[in-house]
Amino acid sequence: MKIEGYEYGNYYLRCGDSHSLLELGISRENGMLVSITLVIAANYSVGQMPLLPDEIEKGLPLFDLALWKGDRCKDINNPVDLVFIDTNAVLLIIDKNLKAKKVLWSENLKFAISDGYPCWLLVDNLTDEQITHLKNEISHITQVEQIMY
């Protein structure tokens, strides 16, 4: 998913482990989230929307790149889980041990954080074609993993 009006990121927050990878592209100009790329999810399931915290703010996440000390990539070593919510939304769980304290909301994206750390993100209003594509990719990956192991 690319955020409209922005180029792909020059900095990347990579979330995942050996079985999952989610890349969040971040603008070098202003630290804004500009792209979301799910390469592979550790687990997938059907579930419900997580409880929203009391603090909900309109906008996109901004990352303080000064804290990155010149590194173009930062890694969060947690498995990323994919949860299908309803028929047109997906939840990407970045850290299931963190309780969201704040949600940033922008159009079809909800981004949950806890003390500056990402917890999960939800993309809704997906088309039937986008959901079908995700399910087909997951089915293909599952078949490949079963053959390899």
Average pLDDT over residues 83-105: 93
Phi-psi category of 31—alpha, beta or left, where left has phi over 0 and alpha has psi -120 to 50?
left
**This prediction's pTM:** 0.85
Residue 149 or 45, more confident: 45
CA-nearest of 82, 62, 69 to 9 is 62
pLDDT in tens, 27-40: 988 999 998 988 88
Q: Which of 146, 14, 124, 140 is nearest to 80 (CA)?
A: 14
pLDDT bin (cut points 50, 70, 90) of residue 145 is very low
